[in-house]
Amino acid sequence: MELLRFATAGSVDDGKSTLIGRLLHDTKALFDDVIDAVAATTARRGGEGLDLALVTDGLRAEREQGITIDVAYRYFATPLRSFIIADTPGHVQYTRNMVTGASTSDVAVILVDARHGLREQSHRHAALSALLGIDHLVLAVNKMDLVDWSQARFHEITAEFAVLAAKLGVSMVMPIPLCALDGGNVVDPSPHTPWYQGPSLLEHLETLPVPERAHGHLRLPVQLVIKPVLGSGGGSGAGALAERRWYAGSLAGGTPAVGDEVVVLPSGTRSRIAAVEGHAPAVRIQLEDELDVSRGDLIASAHLRPTVEPHLVAQVAWMNDKPLRAGSHVLIKHATRTVKAVATVVHDKLDVTTLVADIDATELQLNEIGTVTFLTALPLPVDPYRVNRTMGSFIVIDEVTNATVGAGMVGAGSVSS
């Protein structure tokens, strides 16, 4: 796969916007008119040259306050790979936006200021990234120029982060000393770090292995049932098959093949695949038997089925002003199904700085994370989040306002263990 999605976390004070601006600038992803606009704004504010931080902050309020509020997506490509950056905010009150950006990322770049080292925010970013299943972190130690490119300082921060990563169960960590302001070790190597033999940030992003997302066992959450237009000739088979319904969806695992034995969940009815069309992962399939299958059902491998049960135990990141407590009624959207649910137990709450679980907690407030059990009105077919991100994740929706108020990861308890 040639597309890498990575999230950047850190505050504006750490130089995150400057780092992204630098990456885009030095890979020639910025167009002339954008550079002209940035130069003009820099000059208007009494600065000189290009304030690369201005490239990324898009909203009026962000420019006024000098902070990042919401995720911004940026695109650039090199001859080796194309990239999508989810530039996420660092402040605790915008945690939900950081989680939004991290949820679709393969890698997280965690930025720290070499003068300050790891701060509470760095701990939270690392913990949230690990919780969301990102097992490849880049520790970008920025503003190395302000500590005289000190190797000792770099190693001090790196050692501290290694302890944190081990606690989080993150296996891959790449620390890089850099300076976003002068570009050292961002795209090109810095002349100030003869003691550093590793790659620049871009070189690392260009060559690290992209996590494989295709899982072995067939999982097709049904999005739509498509009735062929008669006489359209859309089916691959002859006669009755051409008139049969198609089940359309995006593969959450496996590769469907004609003849494969499948089970429709939650009903448990079995059949075989009769036809497959489309470009994976967006496919449509027909089954050999006429079954009652509708949106929300899961077509899965008959041999390796997900767990189907009405109790969901999950790590939940809460994103609403109104706390989540035992007895809270909500909607849960899992794969393509939305069901009514009630929180039955709030087991614990995680302190993302110390990684200690508070087992006396009885509610989750805005931006808090904890283990919660929900009882769902219909049993949901789930896989552990660590095994399959799609089949192991869900969102919580407020029944009244329709707002997305939480994110859940099934069986993702390793962080607080």
Partner 1 sequence: MISAIDLTHDAGQSGRAEPLHRRHDRAADQRLAELEAHAIFVIREVAAECERPVLLFSGGKDSVVMLHLARLAFEPGVIPFPVMHVDTGHNFPEVIEFRDALVAEFGVRLVVAGVQDAIDQGRVPDPGPTGSRNRLQTEPLLHEINRSSFDAAFGGARRDEDKARAKERVLSFRDAFGQWDPKNQRPELWRLYNARVRPGEHLRAFPLSDWTELDIWRYIAVNDVDLPAMYYSHRREVVERDGMLLATGPFTPPAAGELAFEETVRYRTVGDMTCTGAVRSPATDAWGVLAEIEQSRITERGATRADDRFSEAAMEDRKREGYF
Residue list 210-229, contact with partner 1 (CB under 8 A): 223-224, 226-229
User: Residue 155: which residues within 8 A CB-CB, separation 6 or more?
Assistant: none
Beta strands 107-113 and 3-9 are parallel
* Position 390 contacts partner 1 (CB under 8 A): yes
Closest to 5 measured CA to CA, from 104, 79, 77:
104
Nearer to partner 1, 193 or 336 (CB): 336
Number of C-beta neighbours around residue 81 at 10 A: 17
Buried b (16+ CB within 10 A) or exposed e, 33-62: eeeeebbeebeeeeeeebbbbbbbbeeeeb
Give the span between the Cα atoms of 34 and 198, in whole angstroms. Answer: 32
Residue 163-202 contact track with partner 1, rule CB under 8 A, x = bound:
----------------------------------------
* Contact pattern from residue 300 through residue 319 relative to partner 1, giving x for each residue in contact according to CB under 8 A and a dash for the rest: -------------------x
Neighbours of 128 (CB within 10 A): 23
User: How many residues interact with partner 1 (rule CB under 8 A)?
Assistant: 72
Site for partner 1 in 5-24 (CB under 8 A): none
Least Å from the CB of residue 393 to partner 1: 5
Q: Tokens 């919660």 map to which residue?
A: 372
Q: What is the DSSP code string of 324-337?
A: EETT-EEEEEETTE
Rounded to whole angstroms, the Cα distance separating 150 from 145 reads 8
Contact string (CB under 8 A) for partner 1, positions 261-280, x = contact = ----------------xxxx
CB of 78 to partner 1, least distance (A): 8
As a whole number of angstroms, the distance between CA 314 and CA 300 comes to 22
Q: C-beta of 166: minimal distance to partner 1 in Å?
A: 27
Nearest approach, Cβ of 38 to partner 1 (angstroms)?
10
| 136, 394, 412, 416: which one binds partner 1 (CB under 8 A) | 394
Of residues 212 and 360, the one with the C-beta less far from partner 1: 212
Residue 53 or 144 with smaller CB distance to partner 1? 53
Query: Among residues 20, 23, 52, 72, which is the contact residue for partner 1, using CB under 8 A?
Result: 72
Of the candidates 58, 66, 216, 237, which one interacts with partner 1 according to CB under 8 A?
Answer: 58
Tokens of 396: 């919580």
122, 193, 336, 371: residue in contact with partner 1 (rule CB under 8 A): 336
37 binds partner 1 (CB under 8 A): yes
Please report whether residue 159 would count as binding partner 1 according to CB under 8 A: no
Query: Which residue among 18, 88, 103, 416 contacts partner 1 (CB under 8 A)?
Result: 103
* Cα–Cα distance for residue pair 125/361, rounded to 1 Å: 22
Mark 250-285 as b/e (b = at least 16 C-beta within 10 Å): bbbbbebeeebebbbbbeeeebebbbbeeeeeebbb
Q: How far is the CB of 178 from partner 1 (least distance, A)?
A: 23
| Exposure letters 213-236 (e unless 16+ CB within 10 A, then b) | eebebbbbbbbeeeebeeeeeebe
The single-letter code of the amino acid at 347 is H
- In angstroms, what is the minimal distance from the CB of 329 to partner 1? 15
Largest CA distance in the chain: 77
* Residue 113 beta carbon to partner 1: minimum distance, rounded to whole angstroms: 25
Per CB under 8 A, 404 contacts partner 1:
yes
User: Quick one: which segment of 72-80, 166-174, 191-199, 360-368 binds partner 1 (CB under 8 A)?
Assistant: 72-80
